Structure 1
């Protein structure tokens, strides 16, 4: 009886070890390989002099979490993908310890359709999965799945999200002398609607404050910022581009999707809005999401690097990733951290289960033979 107990104990421990590896340890094994990028002094903007009190800001950026709602998606799909995002995010919090986290839209998959009760449940789930420790700040941008595309947005939907996450159409956040401009991409339609007009006014004010800070002799000090630096633009949609054809990243779109033409205001903001943003703000770097695939581009018009972040969820991307960036008022550096691939975890499960089954079969065969020999020995001992 003791041999069978040992046999089943070993099989149970093997199954538990496999589960623990695939659902917990793998996130540490993979994400511990990520590190914060190092600033290159040669890339510093020599026209901007940081203050002695300025500290480097460590920023984590991700997009398109798409928490499933009550209408679409199987319960197991929801459980699997939300656990993946929870473990990846909390492991990143433990290992990388960012100062700030920005989540760039499409927090929810059904935000535009859900009832007030369902939306409140969404908020609770979001804060449970993407809980940040004390000392880490969390900011979000709104996405089309949160409140709808421009033509579907109502004042109610817009206000509900704004009140829940303090995410107005345009928001300026200053951290250690670095200016972050959070933007509602759907407010860049340019049609003077209830959402677009206030966004245009706020952008003009931010642009003026930046210009006044850069040239204080030309403006009143009352509207100037404490320090000038080129801003960082953060929104859900990428800036205008024809397609992903020129994107060459490990997490780029599949080849059959790269050549598909983007529709302005649907897959990216319009050409006019892009030129207007780059001209008004002159950002040093821009981050977006929405396409679910990675991309890096350079805009010569304003000397702006643009990073499109892939989806953070296995539901949309087999090889999800997030960005780690460091900022000072006159310099920055960006790197990408790749999370465990869903295909790798599936392979580990299949391989592990196969090895456990083989071990169980051989062990059981050996156990039966040993049991037979034991019985024969006992029989021979009898008079």
Structure 2
């Protein structure tokens, strides 16, 4: 009996380590949502796409500091180990609320962000902006956006970026100004979209010359060149947005929703619309999208291969009328009461495989740790011989 009791602490440590390893491993549901049927092909670039971390920086509570942020950081580490992504994309709302220039809020939130995502180990980092990071239309300031963007990798002064990674073209658009009328940032972002569209058409023109296909070039009234020929749908870059595109299409054009969160999502939106509540953890307008005219402009100009957007805080997939598919990235936080989740995408030559990956709910994790604590107490008492065990 003494030998058995002395072995209990070792057994408990083994159970605890196994639990620690298991509880932080993401659970993923895979779906093919790419632009062509079949396998991924020879190329296989993998990206982990997250959004809405809602970090509080210097305003973090004790629970945030000693539990939530530490566990989400462990979740990132385990996700890197299991999925081995080549790129980490963050689609905005790093912070829970807009900071101000000249104080320590933004530097504190930025440091907290890098602590949470942990060492990248060669993983490419791409970070976009959300309305909680730079403010909504009435707060949107070009100088402030430029300052925040300068602290994040790869962004220009508008908070946008166009880049190619492993032969996959990406276009990260700061979608917040596109909601605003007469804002200088809106015109700057639209100019970037037009430039990207021209480059795409120019590439198509070059590739069609061998087939003897001619093209013509016009100029806008402002002198900016424009090719008449429109590229086929799905031949453009992968779009990265914070605000989703408009879904003002007929109901039968919507794809089936992927993921278990849809009924909850629709119920929560209905209750938000009825109550119009605003709180720190959840936006009052989860269904807010880009205007229909901006959506049509983006789809027609860029012919995106695939679209990743955020802000809605739940995972789903939507088919636009032109055939473009938009994947909504869920929130990577427990602050909203659900599961911390993200999207994992594998980009092949002909197709893109998308998975919705999630962590256990916060309450389940807390109850599991509480159970382990009680088990530790029982092991301690038994190993010290405080209780006698009678076998009948």
Q: Smaller-chain TM-score range?
A: 0.7 to 0.9
More relative contact order, 1 or 2 (CA 8 Å, 6+ apart): 2
C-alpha displacement of 1:329? 5.0
Partner of residue 342 from structure 2, selected from 322, 347, 350: 322
Provide the aligned length of Structure 1 versus Structure 2. 352
Is residue 323–residue 337 contact of structure 1 (8 Å, CA) maintained in 2? yes
Cα 1:270–1:263 change in 2 (3 A) is farther
Moved more, 204-213 or 107-116: 107-116
Aligned to 2:300: 279
What is the rounded CA distance, in whole Å, between the counterparts of 1:44 and 1:351 in structure 2? Answer: 44
Cα displacement (A) at 1:255 = 4.9
Aligned partner (choices 182, 188, 191) of residue 198 of structure 1 = 188
Greater percentage in helix:
1
Of residues 130, 135, 141, the one that matches 1:148 is: 135
**Is 1:347 aligned with 2:367?**
yes
Distance change in 2, residues 1:367/1:329 (3 Å):
closer
Question: Hey, what's the Cα distance between the residues in 2 that align with 1:307 and 1:38?
Answer: 9
Q: Deviations over 1:318-370 (max 9, x none)?
A: 32221111224543221222223323212323433455556667777874689
Q: Per the alignment, do residues 6 and 338 of structure 1 end up closer, same or farther by CA in structure 2, a change over 3 Å counting?
A: same
Query: In structure 1, the residue corresponding to 2:184 is in which secondary structure?
Result: coil
The CA RMSD over aligned residues, in Å, is 4.0
Bigger Rg over Cα: 1
Alignment of 1:50-129 (within 5 A): 55-71=43-59, 73-113=60-100, 115-129=102-116
TM-score (norm 1): 0.77
1:380 is matched with none
SS in 1 for 2:143: helix
Instruction: Confirm whether residue 139 of structure 1 aligns to residue 149 of structure 2.
Output: no
Instruction: Note the C-alpha offset of 1:24.
Output: 4.6
SS at match of 2:37: helix
CA distance in 2: counterparts of 1:59 and 1:21, whole angstroms: 27
Alignment-derived partner of residue 257 in structure 1: 268
Distance in 2 separating the partners of 1:331 and 1:368: 63
What residue ranges of structure 2 are gaps of 5+ in the alignment?
A: 207-213, 218-225, 228-233, 274-282
Displacement of 1:13: 7.4
The 5 Å alignment of 1:1-383 reads 10=8, 14=12, 20=17, 23-28=20-25, 30=26, 42-43=37-38, 55-71=43-59, 73-113=60-100, 115-165=102-152, 166-168=154-156, 169=158, 170-189=160-179, 191-216=181-206, 218=215, 229-241=235-247, 247=257, 249-252=259-262, 253-259=264-270, 267-300=288-321, 302-356=322-376, 367=387
